[in-house]
Amino acid sequence: MLTTDLYASSVQHSLDLAGIFVFAISGALLAVRKNFDVFGIAVLAEATALGGGVFRDLVIGAVPPAAFTDLGYLLMPLVATACVFFLHPHVERINGAVNVFDAAGLGLFCVAGTTKAHDYGLGLTQSAVLGLVTAAGGGVVRDVLANEVPSLLRWDRDLYAVPAIVGSTMAALLIQFEALSGVTSAAAAVTAFVLRLLAMRYGWRAPRAWHRRSSTAEDL
Amino acid sequence: MLTTDLYASSVQHSLDLAGIFVFAISGALLAVRKNFDVFGIAVLAEATALGGGVFRDLVIGAVPPAAFTDLGYLLMPLVATACVFFLHPHVERINGAVNVFDAAGLGLFCVAGTTKAHDYGLGLTQSAVLGLVTAAGGGVVRDVLANEVPSLLRWDRDLYAVPAIVGSTMAALLIQFEALSGVTSAAAAVTAFVLRLLAMRYGWRAPRAWHRRSSTAEDL
Amino acid sequence: MLTTDLYASSVQHSLDLAGIFVFAISGALLAVRKNFDVFGIAVLAEATALGGGVFRDLVIGAVPPAAFTDLGYLLMPLVATACVFFLHPHVERINGAVNVFDAAGLGLFCVAGTTKAHDYGLGLTQSAVLGLVTAAGGGVVRDVLANEVPSLLRWDRDLYAVPAIVGSTMAALLIQFEALSGVTSAAAAVTAFVLRLLAMRYGWRAPRAWHRRSSTAEDL
């Protein structure tokens, strides 16, 4: 039995759509800030929401990717585009709320990505890596398309990779010990979600290389 | 019967090569403007001409992609590179002509991409999206490699996505109503082509988000 | 018999890991220069080391890519990350040595990429192109993620594509004439390696488009 069967599929599908929606919002908001037109907003919303999952599906051989088989996945970012297009001053104002939803998407996608990769026969470590890619890849695609340094990589942004790594690793360990269920996978997703919220609340950051300043100040 | 069989294949192949050539010219010209060397010009020409189609083929599972099975697809951008390398002041001078050819490539690729995706079993909406990706994806790859904001996304460029969306949608509707033939698919391609020419002629642009200026001026 | 069987597989695997390690070092060093945090360093190391091979494997249909089946491929960039994180002033100081290793990786990967693509049924020309992509693709991914113009494309960098093209072409010709063996493929890799060293030693560069300056000075 596939591990994804452990989820009530309709619940899982709704959670996927919710995750896609909030990631699309983050893409659309960046597009507005970059002064893109309505089609640029839609492209960035789609790429942000679906980029991580499409890459995962290409790697594991799940072709065509879910984004191109389930119409809802493709349409949800257009709903997000419409919301941002007409309401973006209000959406900006609730930016905190958007960040909370984005953290929820991060938690959902790192667990869902890990279990799907394992369903397709990848090892546990590789599955956890693809969980991270699923959760964080869309944001990287978003920033590359917007011609910015991916916020995932920057030292001056709150921790983003660590919560996803923790969630993915928990999911992989649950699979390893045959303890993956709706409840335990929800616990992994919630752990990643809460860690991300705490990182934003307390400004947790990751260290840069030792002695960095002395030797590279001239490069900046 | 596959819908692509509706085309006389030799005619279709010639049109594909023509589309690849003009897209490659647009990549090579940007490479010259960015001061790249001859290999940089060739890489950008290849990526611009083949990027959209390779992504489509990976998504639909047509592996290896056509760009790696048909030698002409791989060589045509090198011909474009040679033309631009030796003749680029003249090519720049006929930039208007290049834009017309690029519009023709847009028309051809959005229809060909839609029909190929449908041949591989994708739904009509997804096929139309992949038609758009085939037509516009190479330009996005070009701009990302050249470290510029993709012109597809920018509000201060004439409409590019809309003509491709119209052409892709027409192709999808023709498939839906079993009316796809050489003549009707040519009509879809010509419609996209003419719309793109009109967009350039009259400077048609897409709107940006409402009230954008008030809330985001400080971000620019 | 597959051409890769010609290698003693354990030797080949060690060479692959060595190539991945040196490419990862180059990614990690750029990440430090760009002021990324430790996770940004790890992501850039992974992307640089594995990007070219993952793209090749997706194109030839070797799914999941080797980077996601062989755990060593995934872990080696983390070792490189740790080295650069703790020792980077020393690693910077031996930058010359890193460049020599990078040249060795270039030689190994262009030959290995060509033979693997041919094993999966691609034509000789396409296989040579994928050998180039395997060797140079990771560096392009690295520079795109770091929001820089890929050094592969820039005229003011020493030749990088030409050594890889020579090595890939030699490997393709060896396959063509059924002369591929451990010795001859090593000769192709060494040729690419030595050419790259010479290009760095003597500052070999590729020409830009003719009459470039006159017509495009205003764009710079």
Residue A217: predicted pLDDT: 42
Residue C14: predicted pLDDT: 84
C162 contacts in chain B (CB < 8 Å): 39
Spatial separation of the C-alpha atoms in residues B206 and B199, rounded to whole Å: 10
- For residues C8-18, average pLDDT: 79
- At C72, the pLDDT band (50, 70, 90 cuts) reads very high
Mind telling me how many Å the CA of C87 is from chain B's nearest CA?
31
Contact yes or no for C145 and A153 at CB 8 A: yes
- For residues C60-77, average pLDDT: 94
Residue B211: predicted pLDDT: 62
Candidates A22, A68, A31, A70; CA nearest to A49 is: A22
Residue C23 has pLDDT above 70, yes or no: yes
Residue C216: predicted pLDDT: 45
Spatial separation of the C-alpha atoms in residues C177 and B42, rounded to whole Å: 28
Contact yes or no for A41 and B209 at CB 8 A: yes
- For residues C37-46, average pLDDT: 94
Residue A181: predicted pLDDT: 86
- pLDDT tens string B161-177: 999 999 999 999 999 99
Contact yes or no for C89 and A58 at CB 8 A: no
- For residues C205-213, average pLDDT: 71
Long-range contacts of A182-185 (CB under 8 A, 24+ apart): A182/A6, A182/A7, A182/A8, A182/A11, A185/A6, A185/A7, A185/A111, A185/A115
Mean pLDDT of chain C: 87
Candidates B123, B137, B115; CA nearest to B189 is: B115
- pLDDT tens string B20-68: 998 999 899 889 888 899 999 999 999 999 999 999 999 999 999 999 9
- For residues B4-9, average pLDDT: 56
Mind telling me how many Å the CA of C42 is from chain A's nearest CA?
9
C77 contacts in chain A (CB < 8 Å): none
- pLDDT tens string C108-166: 999 999 999 999 999 999 999 999 999 999 999 999 999 999 989 988 888 899 999 99
Region of poorest pLDDT, from A161-170, B152-161, C161-170, C194-203: B152-161
Quote the tokens at residue A109. 């996608």
Q: What percent of chain B has pLDDT over 90?
A: 60
Length of chain C: 220
Spatial separation of the C-alpha atoms in residues B109 and B60, rounded to whole Å: 16
Q: If interface means Cβ-Cβ distance under 8 Å, which residues of chain B face chain A? A: 58-61, 120-123, 125-126, 129-130, 140, 144, 147-150, 152-155, 161-162, 205-212, 214-216, 219-220
Backbone φ and ψ for C154, nearest 5 degrees, come out as: -80, 140
Q: Which of A58, A121, A219 sits opposite C33 (nearest CB)?
A: A219
Region of poorest pLDDT, from A55-69, A111-125, B31-45, B95-109: B95-109
Residue A156 has pLDDT above 60, yes or no: yes
Spatial separation of the C-alpha atoms in residues C114 and C53, rounded to whole Å: 11
* Token pair 């916020």 in the structure block, residue: A151
User: What are C154's strand-pairing partners?
Assistant: B36
A92 contacts in chain B (CB < 8 Å): 215-216
- At A5, the pLDDT band (50, 70, 90 cuts) reads low
Residue B4 has pLDDT above 70, yes or no: no
Mean pLDDT of chain A: 87
Residue C89: predicted pLDDT: 77
- For residues C195-210, average pLDDT: 87
- Specify whether the CB–CB gap between A21 and A49 falls below 8 A: yes
C219 contacts in chain B (CB < 8 Å): 33
- At C211, the pLDDT band (50, 70, 90 cuts) reads low
A34 contacts in chain B (CB < 8 Å): 149, 153
Residue A218 has pLDDT above 60, yes or no: no
3-state helix, strand, coil in chain B (%, to 5): 75, 0, 20
- Specify whether the CB–CB gap between B113 and B30 falls below 8 A: no
**Highest mean pLDDT, choosing among B205-209, C11-15, C134-138:** C134-138
Residue C8: predicted pLDDT: 57
CA distances from C202 to A39, A107, B130, C196 (A): 48, 52, 46, 10
Spatial separation of the C-alpha atoms in residues A46 and B129, rounded to whole Å: 11
Residue A2: predicted pLDDT: 52
- Residue B190: burial class (beta carbons within 10 Å; 0-12, 13-18, 19+): middle
Contact yes or no for A126 and C86 at CB 8 A: no
Instruction: Select the residue from A145, A208, A211 to test the C interface by mutation, using most C Cβ atoms within 10 A.
Output: A208
- For residues A184-194, average pLDDT: 94
Q: What DSSP string describes C5-36? A: GGS-HHHHHHHHHHHHHHHHHHHHHHHHHTTB
Residue C220 has pLDDT above 60, yes or no: no
- At B74, the pLDDT band (50, 70, 90 cuts) reads very high
- Specify whether the CB–CB gap between C115 and C171 falls below 8 A: yes
- At A14, the pLDDT band (50, 70, 90 cuts) reads confident
Residue A219: predicted pLDDT: 43
CA distances from C109 to A25, B70, C23 (A): 40, 24, 10
Region of poorest pLDDT, from A7-16, A118-127, C15-24: A7-16
Give A154's DSSP letter.
B
Distance of CA C128 to the CA centre of its chain: 13
Spatial separation of the C-alpha atoms in residues B56 and B73, rounded to whole Å: 15
- For residues A52-57, average pLDDT: 95
Residue C185 has pLDDT above 50, yes or no: yes
Q: Which of C35, C68, C92 sits opposite A122 (nearest CB)?
A: C68
On whether ipTM exceeds 0.85, the answer is yes
Residue A97 has pLDDT above 90, yes or no: no
- The pTM for the full model equals 0.90
Pick the residue with more confidence: C9 or C41?
C41
* CB hemisphere CA count around B155 (13 angstroms): 15
- At C187, the pLDDT band (50, 70, 90 cuts) reads very high
- pLDDT tens string A30-50: 898 888 999 999 999 999 999
Residue A76: predicted pLDDT: 95
* Token pair 């037509």 in the structure block, residue: B135
CA distances from C31 to A142, B66, C2 (A): 19, 35, 38
User: What are B208's strand-pairing partners?
Assistant: none
